[in-house]
Amino acid sequence: MTTPRNEAIQRSEPVSAADEPRSLTGSQILWETLVREGVEVVFGYPGGAIMPAYDAMIQYPIRHILVRHEQGAAHMADGYARASGRVGVAVATSGPGATNLVTGIANAMMDSIPIVCITGQVPSSLIGSDAFQETDITGVTLPITKHNFLVTKPEQVVAAVRQAFYIAASGRPGPVVVDITKDAQQKSTDFVYDSSPVRLPGYRPDHMPLREDVEQAVEMIHAARRPILFCGHGVIEANATSLLLELVRKTNIPVAATLLGLGGFPATHPRNLGMMGMHGEAWVNKAIQEADLIVAIGMRFDDRVTGNLKTYALKAKKIHIELDPAEVNKTVKVDLPLLGDAREILRLLLPHLRKLEIDEWIQHIESLKGESAVLEIQHLPDHGRLFAAHVIHDLWRLTEGKALVVTDVGQHQMWEAQYYKHDHPRKLITSGGLGTMGFALPAAMGARLACPNEEIWVVAGDGGFQMTAAELATCAQENIKLNIAIINNGYLGMVRQWQQFFYGGRYVATPIRSPDFVKLADAHGLFGVRVTTRAQLADAVRQARENPQTAIIDFRVEQEDSVYPMVPAGADLHDMIRRPAPVAAHPIYETGRDE
Amino acid sequence: MSPSQSPTLRTFIAYVEDQPGVLNRIASLFRRRGYNIVSLNVGRTHEAGISRMTFVVDADDDTARRIEANLYKLVNVLSIEDITRVPSVTRDLALIKLSVGPEKRAEVLQLCEIFRARPVDVGPDTLIVEMSGDQGKIDALVTVLQPFGITEMVQTGTVAMTRGPIGAAAQATHPSIHPRRVA
């Protein structure tokens, strides 16, 4: 706890048993309710319309992290939620404070992350008058929240906040905004906390499959000769990893993961195949195209996973275990949807399943793996150069695969997904659906607050890192220890790769100049070191880990390397661009390093 | 253009909480997901705090199912039912103003009689007729009245109610008498 506190301010009795009605302001009721919801830390930025709430916060056992931009607050709440499985909370003022949250809210919506954003609003008498710092934030966030509330009276605060937490965390999780007018924060009302379960007659987030559907699924699984399991984000959200392991132990079916499903099934498990989709392993995508049964668990057949829908997994019958009925048959038509929580459905399936005779299929996939290995960059020499894939691989080795890694968006994200083998859930935090550059640093800070004892690594590109680099100051002020690996190639690398493949090599607006990241770390009173060869890597990682403060390693990697394999957007899943063979001199450009 | 004439037109009934912004949430969902609204009607019911909507959309089977699933996810939507294939009574209400003087008035009223439309306002040179029916019937009346000089027309969206006992959407609005499916 390093937040400076004004010791002169007396804490009034925090959170009483409170069956007796007490007269409290809307602001006090807000914090009373948040504390009862188990909130210990909030990420925010004060301003005019939220000042009454901030003024009351000091009376409550809440740690506040002062961000440098509200987008950071939303991403921190997001990272906190992903790392802990609890609801993350961001606080902002009206108008620009609220609109700055928008990217973070959309990010949480796309990846089904439970966050609650509390925003101040102009006094209710001024709503609709274009008052100073007025924005219709419930209107703005309507399509990117699971639900939102406009609170104009102190009497409405308890119910809105409790419902917000319930909606955010239950069913398919998602972000909820609670917009509270300044007068609702200031006025007082009798406060009695009602701890009875939240009642929302129109909200029924739970589903259970029919018994005959479960029986049919068992029959379909037993009839399969080339089955494959998909581990999606829903496995992690439902805490279903142990049941998935049990299912694989019983049936021997191999498992492929989506980007957000990585870690939901152990990467080093013999039946684990790896990631599917646009930058998935070649053998995984080939196996999907040859499979006769797909059991998809908690995933939504995103376009980055399927490629061309007309040619996607045509030979496979599909069982879709999914909590959200609106995701069933959205893109891929399935033969049997099982609606409900992944954990509950696996529990229903398990007693009926037996071992499948699929040795031939497993051997076939192994042979596909062997075929791919010749193009594998891990088997290529570095010739003194620094390849991003080598950096991630070495990082995995040096941290013994145990770190919690938070990535940004782009090439480094895909390399991380390919080369850092996550054996446990909630150890990879990444922006999947929205693909939000600038996500990594603030999300990692949120994860740190949720998991004070984890070793946390940020893996970011030089482009994305600069989008939210201001939060380094927050790291320094709040003594938040992170290790930051900047995969610095001097380009917006993924866009550059697309320009190379699909736009005639015209690198329009992708070369990007960065500040000296070592000096930037120094300017914040943090530790920084530069790495230009693979030989320097281990020592730099050691220094970063040993340093009690946040440490930045500026990895100056190969500038024009690309992520392979790649299924071009909309192409057939088996139609992959492969890494050029070692002899077929793929031009490795000079890096233009000045060291 | 009634649902029975075109298989791609779907009619839904939804019960929603009578709260500010609910219509906005529903309209926003349709816009965001690219669903085509043909008509939308919302009004109070006999129960306080509960509104009932009827909406007609242009959608195939699969889209219709997803519209239902997406609307179901809205917290303020209490229940929803696709009644396209359920025997139902559907009605639109139209008001039609004509520029008609005394010399043609009798003729117009005679035609209205056939359609069971009725005059609701008569002036020296104007006439307003009111008619309820499905879209096809309203269209037919408009065709017949057109030569007499229609100066204004307004019509509601479709409202619908299933025939027979209490409809599924109405029943589902009361979860206590609508037990959840369990495996």
CA distance B48 to chain A (A): 14
pLDDT of amino acid A196: 83
The least confident of A520-524, A582-586, B44-48 is A582-586
Say whether A348 and B69 touch across the interface (CB within 8 A): no
Check if the beta carbon of residue A61 is closer than 8 Å to that of residue A81. Answer: no
Name the residue facing A167 among B62, B70, B75 (closest C-beta): B75
Considering only CB atoms, B75 lies closest to which of A200, A209, A329, namely A200
Q: What pLDDT, on a 0 to 100 scale, did the predictor assign at position A19?
A: 63
Contact yes or no for B129/B117 (Cβ under 8 A):
yes
Determine contact: A182 vs chain B, CB below 8 A. Answer: no
- Set of chain B residues whose Cβ sits within 8 Å of the Cβ of A139: 24
Judge whether A320 is closer than 8 Å to chain B, CB to CB. Answer: no
Minimal Cβ distance to A348: which of B74, B75, B183: B183
Cβ atoms < 10 Å from Cβ of B123? 11
Predicted local distance difference test score (pLDDT) of residue A5: 40
Cβ separation of A209 and B183 shorter than 8 Å? yes
- Both tokens assigned to A374: 């010749």
CB B47: neighbour CB atoms within 10 A?
13
Cβ contacts (< 8 Å) between B32 and chain A: which residues? 143
For residue B8, the model assigns a pLDDT of 87
- The CA–CA distances, whole Å, from A554 to A55, A416, A550, A570 equal 40, 16, 13, 35
Token pair belonging to A5: 């506190």
* Of B173 and B17, more confident: B17
DSSP string, A373-399: HTT-GGGS--TT---HHHHHHHHHHHT
Q: How confident is the model at residue A9 (pLDDT cuts 50, 70, 90)?
A: very low
Q: Is the pLDDT of residue A232 over 80?
A: yes
Q: B25–A328: do the CB atoms touch at under 8 Å?
A: no
Predicted pLDDT at A283: 93
Q: What is the pLDDT of residue A25?
A: 98
Q: A69 with A38: CB under 8 angstroms?
A: no
Cβ atoms of A175 and A82 closer than 8 Å: no
| Averaged pLDDT, A547-560 | 97
Our CA-based measurement puts residue B167 at a distance from the nearest CA of chain A, in whole angstroms, of 17
Residue A266 near residue A401, CB atoms below 8 Å: no
Alpha helices in A70-154 (DSSP H): 70-84, 96-100, 102-110, 137-140
Across the interface, of B17, B21, B65, the residue whose CB is closest to A202 is B17
- Binned at pLDDT 50, 70 and 90, residue B7 comes out as low
Q: Which residues of A are catalytic?
A: 70, 132-133, 182, 494
> Nearest Cα to A553, choosing from A542, A566, A568, A565?
A542
Give the DSSP letter string of A267-294.
TTSTTEEEE-STTS-HHHHHHHHH-SEE
Q: Is residue A574 over pLDDT 50?
A: yes
pLDDT tens, residue by residue, A21-32: 899 999 999 999
- pLDDT tens track for A177-212: 999 999 999 999 999 888 888 989 899 898 999 999
How much is the pLDDT for A591?
41
Question: How does DSSP classify residue A524?
Answer: T
Q: Tell me: pLDDT of A583 over 70.
A: no
Using CA coordinates, name the residue in chain A closest to B20: A150
How would DSSP label each residue in A470-530?
Answer: THHHHHHHHT---EEEEEE-SB-HHHHHHHHHHSTT--TT-B-----HHHHHHHTT-EEEE
Average pLDDT over residues A240-268: 98
Strands A88-92 and A41-44: parallel
Contact list in B for residue A167 (CB cut-off 8 A) is 75
Sheet holding A176-181, edge to edge: A63-66, A41-44, A88-92, A115-121, A176-181, A147-151
pLDDT band at A15 (very low <50, low <70, confident <90, very high): low
Q: Tell me A265's DSSP state.
A: S
In the predicted structure, residue A11 carries a pLDDT above the cut 70: no
Cα(B58)–Cα(B38) distance, integer angstroms = 7
pLDDT for A582 equals 56
- Does the structure show a pLDDT above 50 at A404? yes
Contact A202 B70 (CB under 8 A): no
Question: What secondary structure letter does DSSP report for A491?
Answer: B
**Option in A142, A209, A330 nearest B25 (CB):** A142
Contact of A332 with A306, CB cutoff 8 Å = yes
CA A53 to chain centre: 29
Bigger pLDDT: A5 or A329? A329
- So what's the pLDDT on residue B25? 94
Distance from CA of A155 to the nearest CA of B (A): 17
Burial class (CB in 10 A: 0-12, 13-18, 19+), A305: buried
Per-residue confidence band for A17, with pLDDT thresholds at 50, 70 and 90 = low
What is the spatial distance between Cα A430 and Cα A279, in angstroms, rounded to a whole number?
15
Q: What is the mean pLDDT of residues A236-255?
A: 97
Confidence of residue A592 (pLDDT cuts 50, 70, 90): very low
Contact A325 B72 (CB under 8 A): yes
Are residues B35 and B59 in contact, defined by beta-carbon separation less than 8 angstroms? yes
For chain B, list residues whose CB is within 8 angstroms of any CB belonging to chain A: 16-17, 20-21, 24-25, 28-29, 32, 62, 65-66, 69-70, 72-79, 173, 175, 180-183
Q: Report the pLDDT value the prediction gives residue B5, as an integer from 0 to 100.
A: 41
| Banded model confidence at residue A10, pLDDT cuts 50, 70, 90 | very low
Question: What six digits make up the tokens of B61?
Answer: 């089977």
Spell out the residues 6+ positions from residue A583 whose beta carbon is closer than 8 angstroms to its own. none
- In this model, does residue A251 exceed pLDDT 90? yes
- Check CB contact of A214 with chain B, cutoff 8 Å: yes
Residue type, A154: P
Residues of A in contact with B73 (CB under 8 A): 324, 326
For residue A397, pLDDT beyond 50:
yes
**A203 interface with B at CB cutoff 8 Å:** yes
Q: Give the per-residue pLDDT at B135.
A: 87
For A477-506, the pLDDT digits (tens) are 999 999 999 999 999 999 999 999 999 999
Residues 480-519 of A with CB under 8 A from B: none
Query: Do B75 and A329 make contact, defined as CB atoms within 8 angstroms?
Result: no
Q: Do A328 and B69 touch (CB under 8 A)?
A: yes
Residues in A touching B183 (Cβ below 8 Å): 208-211, 214, 348
**Per-residue pLDDT at A195:** 80
Cα A495 to Cα A276, A306, A503, A565, distances in angstroms: 21, 21, 10, 16
Q: Kind and range of the H or E element at A407?
A: strand A404-407
ipTM tops the 0.95 cut: no
Closest residue on chain A to B169 (Cα) = A202
CA–CA gap between residue A533 and residue A555 (Å, rounded): 9
Question: CB pairs below 8 Å between A and B: how many?
Answer: 58
C-beta neighbour count of A19 within 10 angstroms: 8
Q: Bridge-partner residues for A375, per DSSP?
A: none
In angstroms, rounded to a whole number, what is the distance separating the alpha carbons of residues A76 and A98?
Answer: 15
User: Which chain B residue has the Cα nearest residue A215?
Assistant: B183
Question: What mean pLDDT is reported for chain A?
Answer: 93
| A357: its two tokens | 């005779």
Q: What's the start-to-end Cα distance of chain A, in Å?
A: 40
Distance CA A313, CA A273 (A): 16
Rounded mean pLDDT, A42-60? 98
Q: Do A209 and B21 touch (CB under 8 A)?
A: no
Q: HSE on the CB side for A371, CA within 13 Å?
A: 13
CB contact under 8 A, A142 and B66: no
Whole-model pTM?
A: 0.92
Q: How far apart are CA A315 and CA A289, in angstroms?
A: 7
Mean pLDDT of A576-586: 67
For residue B24, the model assigns a pLDDT of: 92
What is the C-alpha to C-alpha distance for residues A247 and A410, in angstroms, rounded to an integer? Answer: 33
Say what the pLDDT of residue A409 is: 98
For residues B22-44, average pLDDT? 92
pLDDT, tens digit, 9 for 90 and up, residues B58-70: 999 888 999 999 9
pLDDT (tens digit per residue) in B51-108: 999 999 999 988 899 999 999 999 999 999 999 999 999 999 999 999 999 999 999 9
For A199-236, the DSSP string reads --TT--------HHHHHHHHHHHHH-SSEEEEE-HHHH
For residue B55, the one-letter residue type is F
More confident residue, A472 or A584: A472
Which amino acid makes up residue A542? R
Mutation site for A-interface testing, chosen from B61, B63, B74, B75 by largest number of A Cβ within 10 Å: B75
The answer to whether the CB of A545 falls within 8 A of the CB of A400 is no
User: Residue A375's pLDDT band (boundaries 50, 70, 90)?
Assistant: confident
CA A585 to chain centre: 37
| pLDDT for the residue numbered A193 | 87
User: Which amino acid type is present at position A283?
Assistant: W
List the single residue in A with minimal CA-CA distance to B76.
A202
Name the burial class of residue B107, with classes exposed (0-12), middle (13-18) and buried (19+) by CB atoms within 10 angstroms of its CB.
Answer: exposed
Structure-token match 């090599």, residue found: A505
The per-residue pLDDT for A370 is 83
Whether residues B181 and A208 touch (CB distance < 8 A) is answered with: yes
- Amino acid identity of residue B98, one-letter, is L
- Best of B29, B73, B82 to substitute, by most chain A Cβ atoms within 10 angstroms, is B73
User: Which chain B residue is nearest to residue A200, measuring alpha carbons?
Assistant: B75
Q: Got the DSSP string for A160-193?
A: HHHHHHHHHHSSS---EEEEEEHHHHHSEEEE--
